[in-house]
Amino acid sequence: MIVNLMPSISSRRCVLPVLSGLLGAVAVLGGCATSRPRAGVPPAMVAHRSASTVSKLDNGMRIIVRPQPGTAVVALQLWIDVGSADESDALAGAAHALEHMVFKGTERRGVGDIAREIESVGGDVNAWTSLDHTVFHVTMPARDWQRGLAVLADAVLNVKLDDEELRKEIEVILEEIKESDDSPASVAAHELFALAFEHHPYRRPVIGWAATVRRFRRAALDRFLRRYYGPERMALVVVGEVDAARVQARVARIFAAARPAAGSRPAQRGFRAAEPSQQQLRVRVVQRPCREAQLALGFRIPELTAADSPALDLAAVILGQGEGSWLVRRVKDEQQVVTDVAAYAYAPRDPGLLIVNAASRPERVVEAAAAISEQLRLLAQTGPHARGARARPGPDRG
């Protein structure tokens, strides 16, 4: 279906075809997965869910504690309900930039002190930003959990936005953007989302664009911080050798004074424009000099909380996760038209994509796309139990 849209690849320049289409037929697998818990909770955790203690402060902050006696370790994750999808185009990359600035110190802790204090007791602190969330996490010896909590709270509640430190961090982020632009796989991923989402902010890379990042100023990031970094958007998860009651009491003492962000409501989704329905296949080709072609195929799927979400997760596992998956066994091992292939269902807060990523030799990229499409068609039409089609067990490809 894409042969006529592909340019000549006789020059052996890298081709990055990116497709976005509709895969409504996959919903027929809904009966194949009925018990997987929602919100990304692994099945193995279901039996232990009662061991978790959940509470909520008056300011809206949620606290989840799950003791694990005998581990001698504690993991703390502070989830903030804000990501790149809450930015305007002019502030593309602001959530990620603010994540960087959280580690630049507070009034009590100078630049670098946050990481040094955690690392001094053998711990680790880091963070990530996604389309919908920003997450700060600490792993450390359980005996030091109060220290880790205090450092994490100070870092997030008392961010110090210094002009000079912001300038330095902008240069760091610009270098990250350059590295991403030099990676064919990253380019393919960014182009896929830009192609699949014409209006919704999922079309933008989480890291932002170089043009917008260069223009960041302290005042704009401070407004973003004050709007979104309120306790009503925060959830703290603590897992390890801790006492749940003590953790909840300590968290309440530290975070209770935090006031909800001005003019912000947890349900307020900022600049999330609705994405219109897609009526036809979209194809984009980017040519770069490199050894392998990168393919990224995306198919519209509903949001995480949709009834079909477990079935789509299962479809992705059958298609491209593990040595026995359809795409690995047939397209990679038997037909040998790709050197690598994987599939996964990316279902965020709003409707997402079922994604197939593959690498192939440039002269076989059209053949690879056709072979992948055939496996998708087969799964949609026959289901996972077609004769001879069931994925055989195999080692995890990691």
The pLDDT assigned to 111 comes to: 93
Confidence of residue 384 (pLDDT cuts 50, 70, 90): confident
The two most distant CA atoms of the chain are separated, in Å, by: 67
Confidence of residue 130 (pLDDT cuts 50, 70, 90): very high
Which residues pair with residue 345 across a beta bridge?
A: 354
Residue 7 or residue 245, greater confidence: 245
Domain with CATH 3.30.830.10 in the chain: 3-36+278-382, 43-185+195-255
The pLDDT assigned to 263 comes to: 58
Whole-number Å distance between alpha carbons of 130 and 118:
24
Enumerate residues 6+ apart whose C-beta is below 8 A from 313: 33, 36, 345, 347
Enumerate residues 6+ apart whose C-beta is below 8 A from 152: 76, 78, 125, 136, 138
Closest CA to 338 of 363, 315, 362, 359: 359
pLDDT at 269 over 90: no
Which residues pair with residue 293 across a beta bridge?
A: 360
Q: What is the mean pLDDT of the chain?
A: 85
- Amino acid occupying residue 119: E
Q: In which region does residue 341 sit, left (phi positive, over 0), alpha (psi from -120 to 50) or beta (all else)?
A: beta
Whole-number Å distance between alpha carbons of 132 and 120:
32
pLDDT at 93 over 60: yes
Q: Which fold has domain 3-36+278-382?
A: Cytochrome Bc1 Complex; Chain A, domain 1 (3.30.830)
List the single range of 85-89, 180-184, 229-233, 289-293 with lowest mean pLDDT: 289-293
pLDDT at 7 over 70: no
The pLDDT assigned to 222 comes to: 96
Tokens of 127: 């963070």
Over residues 50-60, the mean pLDDT reads 89
Enumerate residues 6+ apart whose C-beta is below 8 A from 81: 132, 133, 228, 233, 234, 235, 266
CATH number of 43-185+195-255: 3.30.830.10
The pLDDT assigned to 392 comes to: 47
pLDDT at 11 over 80: no
Residues in the chain: 398
